[in-house]
Amino acid sequence: LPLTYEKVPDLPDDDGITPLVLLHRLYLSIDPAMRGWMSSARSYLPPVPINGVMRGATLSEVIAVRGASRLKVGDVVSEFAGEAGGWQEYAIVSARSVRKIETWSELCSDSNNQIPRELPLTIHLSILGTTGLTAYFGFKRVGCPRLPSETKRPEVVLVNAAAGAVGSIVCQIAKNVYGCKVIGVAGSHAKCRLLMDDLNCCDAVINYRAMENEVTRNAKTSDPADLFALKSAEFQKRLKRVLKQIDAKSLDIVFDNVGGYQLNECLSRLNYFARVAICGAISGYNNDLTKQQTDNTVSHTALYMKHGMSIISLRAKIQGLIVLDYMKEWSKAKKDLARWVLEGKIRYQKEDIRAGLENAPSALVDLFKGQNNGKLIVKVGEQLVKKKEIVSRL
């Protein structure tokens, strides 16, 4: 992903048809989906072309406006993965492709809770952005949770990548809004402590990375397929143990961000009519998705469902999730998320913010290594509207 330098673009003359805005980028969201956008495999969005601007959700300020638009200079706008989203300092886009971010007063007009005096703009890329919206629609619409009053017992939810940006919000909604019992799967002792002690949103946790390290140390083989089988067996044992720990026998909802053996083993522990929300498969994002794989050649990190037959006998449901499918309902969802923040059901966590557009590629690499603490964001620049001169920071 090379860094190139260009002159700040000038807005063309008004054509009387399409209102345009010149945007100055403030923040970029770093998300696992970006890896898929760099693949030529069939997907919900076309791949980012070679030498094209990398796609991504953004927060930007409006520097100039041409044509009839409700936007004005100084407005902060958001955009997800379309015309205006991208790893660049400045962009000219249609005013219709961006959305002015809501104020807390607008989001919480029906709430009796005190409106916070100040929360950072970056919350519109985390809880109130596509991260929070993915958690909201994935859990509510695909997971279809039921309250204890409807089922006579709390439903049991497992979330992997539970300490991640999406997963941690899912855990809090499940525990604090729907009263579910929650099992979180995370990759370090610190992340497990975050879920159990700081956020208090999980009833039990599995540290999969410590488990994998233990399996690898004790294994008498280095063959990837053999290690995959050993990790699967050990994860199954630990899953059985934590279910017993929370006085449960099976899973009602699985919110999967990982794929691989974690999803595979969860399928054998489903309850009747369980729901599995497939939000991501980060364990296999670096596989070559243009090549067909068979049971005998499956990668040890692939999205591979050995226990898929249990879906039939248990009448369970597996459904993929793309947050863009719910765009018409984003406004309502944001109001719910904002209300839950005010009520203390979702706790705002300081994002992991890296400085400089030039550091976006390394931030994306860190995301896949698990070397981030919470929502990963790159800060591109400061708001410049009040300054006399607008120049490139690079």
Residue 216 has pLDDT above 90, yes or no: yes
User: Residue 388: its pLDDT value, please?
Assistant: 45
Residue 320 has pLDDT above 90, yes or no: yes
Instruction: Decide which of 207 and 68 is more confident.
Output: 207
Phi, psi of 130 (to 5 degrees): -65, -20
For tokens 């199954």, the residue is 236
Rounded to an integer, the average pLDDT of 372-387 is 84
Per-position DSSP letters for 102-116, written without gaps between them: PPHHHHTTT--SPPP
User: Residue 286: its pLDDT value, please?
Assistant: 52
**For 163-186, how does the pLDDT look when each residue is reduced to its tens digit (9 = 90+)?**
999 999 999 999 999 999 999 999
Handedness of CA 30, 365, 184, 278 (dihedral sign): positive
Rounded to an integer, the average pLDDT of 24-28 is 94
User: Residue 297: its pLDDT value, please?
Assistant: 47
Measure the CA dihedral 122/128/133/139, to 10°.
Answer: 110
3-class SS at 364?
A: helix
Residue 91 has pLDDT above 80, yes or no: yes
User: Residue 393: its pLDDT value, please?
Assistant: 41
Say what the pTM is: 0.86
Rounded to an integer, the average pLDDT of 129-150 is 95
H helix or E strand, kind and range, residue 138: none
The model's confidence at residue 9, banded by pLDDT at 50, 70 and 90, is confident
The model's confidence at residue 304, banded by pLDDT at 50, 70 and 90, is low
User: Residue 116: its pLDDT value, please?
Assistant: 64
Per-residue three-class SS string for 233-260 = HHHHHHHHHHHHHCCCCCEEEEEECCCH
Q: Which of 35, 17, 87 is nearest to 56 (CA)?
A: 87
Residue 390 has pLDDT above 70, yes or no: no
Distance, in Å, from the CA atom of 44 to the CA atom of 36, rounded to the nearest integer, reads 10
Strand blocks (E) in the chain: 20-29, 58-66, 76-79, 90-94, 99-100, 156-160, 181-186, 204-207, 251-256, 270-278, 317-320, 352-355, 376-379
Residue 36 has pLDDT above 90, yes or no: no
In sequence order, the β-bridge partners of residue 183 are 158, 204
**For 226-262, how does the pLDDT look when each residue is reduced to its tens digit (9 = 90+)?**
998 999 999 999 999 999 999 999 999 999 999 889 9
User: Is the distance from CB of 32 to CB of 280 less than 8 angstroms?
Assistant: yes
Please report how the helices 130-137 and 330-342 are oriented relative to each other, as an axis angle in degrees rounded to 10: 100
Residue 189 has pLDDT above 90, yes or no: yes
Residue 160 has pLDDT above 70, yes or no: yes
Rounded to an integer, the average pLDDT of 114-135 is 86
